[in-house]
Homo-oligomer: A and B are copies of this chain.
Amino acid sequence: MINLGFVGYGYWGPNLVRNFYATVGAAVKKVCDCSLQRLETVKATYPSVDITQDYEELVKDPNIDAVVISTPVSTHFSLAKKALEEGKHLLLEKPMTATVKEAEELIGLAQRKQKVLMVDHIFLYTGAVRKIKKVIEDGELGNIYYFDSVRVNLGLFQHDVNVIWDLAPHDLSIMDYLLAKKPEAISAVGISHFGNLENIAYITVQFPDNLLAHIHVNWLAPVKIRRTLIGGSKKMVVYDDNEPSEKVKIYDCGVTCIENKEDVYQMLVQYRTGDMLAPKLDTTEALKLMSKEFIDSINQNRKPFTDGEAGLRVTRLLEAANESLKEKGRVVKV
């Protein structure tokens, strides 16, 4: 049985507690939050769980094996460092840390302490993303030409990070997992209409081999859009997370270039369109699989699926995107 302590019971924390509560082999022992009111909600829902406003108390509790952190990103590093130093396994909400340096330090610390360091890249546990990964690994898409993701909606402004740090970790972690390639450069433009934090942003990620990724994040759209296009030489994918059931559509269509030396004005590019398949997806809740993975990786003493390195790669892109953002879209090498 892995005994768990939780830090942060705001927006996402209750979901984590609820899922680990139902995870075989996990025991929710203690929840820490600065708000007494939130802690009372914990007590009302889970009378057997201890509560505390004092993180020291939680992190030094010898009965706790692992700490789950879902606080504002600016606090991740110091909280996480303490937990690792106290010999706890660690699950960090995304984005992992506020800087690349912090992420690297946590990875090193976890290695030295031989503890599991996992980042909650939740979308990687969805049936949709896992299916797309399989389709790509099976070579169905052929060469991948582009990755285009839109994640916009009205109504969840953050106060400590801009829209890139808030929404793009989802797209960047999906991109990192699906493409499995090292990006060369990133650029980002954005704009802030309220205060200093950008509420709209466009991110471009350049990869080798003519592969381009683009992400549009926006807190200020009248409609909710969650749609990713992935274009390949053989097939193409539309992943629409708003669709209630047919989230992934695989289009058997493509383009072939014909070298026609004689008549350059003739059609050199041929289109092929075929069937569209919306495969059945595993509908197991992503959070459930993620919780299980954390517990399993501790018990099996192995790297988790979404480990610190995965978190670091996303943080590196976020940091570079922010750098580009400040310089109005200058291309930043990564």
Q: Given A255-B154, A275-B277, A277-B275, is A191 in contact with B146 using a C-beta cutoff of 8 Å?
A: yes
Q: Tell me, yes or no, whether A85 is within 8 Å of chain B by CB.
A: no
Chain B residues near A245: list those with CB within 8 A. 224
- Structural contact, B157 and A269, CB atoms closer than 8 A: yes
- Per-residue CB contact flags for chain A residues 236-279 toward chain B (1 = under 8 Å, else 0) read 11100010111001011101010000001101110101111111
Q: Given A210-B191, A277-B277, is A253 in contact with B222 using a C-beta cutoff of 8 Å?
A: yes
- Structural contact, B273 and A154, CB atoms closer than 8 A: yes
- Per-residue CB contact flags for chain A residues 218-234 toward chain B (1 = under 8 Å, else 0) read 10111110000101010
Chain B residues near A329: list those with CB within 8 A. 187, 204, 329, 331
> Which segment of A192-200, A288-296, A307-315 sits at the interface?
A192-200
Chain B residues near A218: list those with CB within 8 A. 146, 148, 229, 231
Q: How far is the CB of A164 from chain B (nearest CB, A)?
A: 14
Q: Tell me, yes or no, whether A328 is within 8 Å of chain B by CB.
A: yes
A331 to B148, CA, bound (A): 21
The number of chain A residues touching the other chain, given as a range, is 35 or more
- Per-residue CB contact flags for chain A residues 319-333 toward chain B (1 = under 8 Å, else 0) read 000000000111100
- Structural contact, B222 and A268, CB atoms closer than 8 A: no
Chain B residues near A30: list those with CB within 8 A. none
Q: Given A191-B210, A238-B222, is A154 in contact with B204 using a C-beta cutoff of 8 Å?
A: no
A210 to B190, CA, bound (A): 10
Chain B residues near A231: list those with CB within 8 A. 200, 218, 220-222
Q: How far is the CB of A324 from chain B (nearest CB, A)?
A: 10
A106 to B94, CA, bound (A): 56
Question: Among the listed B146, B191, B224, B244, which residue makes an inter-chain contact with A242, where contact means beta carbons less than 8 Å apart?
Answer: B244
Q: How far is the CB of A318 from chain B (nearest CB, A)?
A: 19
Main secondary structure of the interface of A (DSSP, over half): strand
Q: How far is the CB of A251 from chain B (nearest CB, A)?
A: 4
Which residues of chain A in 129-166 are interfacial with respect to chain B, using CB atoms and an 8 Å cutoff? 145-146, 148, 150, 152, 154-155, 157, 159
Q: Tell me, yes or no, whether A280 is within 8 Å of chain B by CB.
A: yes
- Structural contact, B273 and A275, CB atoms closer than 8 A: no
Q: How far is the CB of A194 from chain B (nearest CB, A)?
A: 4
Question: Among the listed B264, B276, B279, B328, which residue makes an inter-chain contact with A159, where contact means beta carbons less than 8 Å apart?
Answer: B264
Chain A positions near chain B (C-beta within 8 angstroms): 47, 145-146, 148, 150, 152, 154-155, 157, 159, 185, 187, 189-195, 200, 202, 204, 206, 210-212, 214, 216, 218, 220-224, 229, 231, 233, 236-238, 242, 244-246, 249, 251-253, 255, 257, 264-265, 267-269, 271, 273-280, 328-331
25 intermolecular pairs with C-beta atoms under 8 Å apart: A47-B47, A145-B191, A145-B200, A146-B220, A148-B216, A148-B218, A154-B253, A154-B255, A159-B264, A189-B204, A189-B212, A193-B257, A194-B268, A194-B269, A200-B231, A202-B214, A204-B329, A216-B216, A221-B229, A221-B236, A222-B251, A223-B238, A274-B280, A275-B277, A277-B277
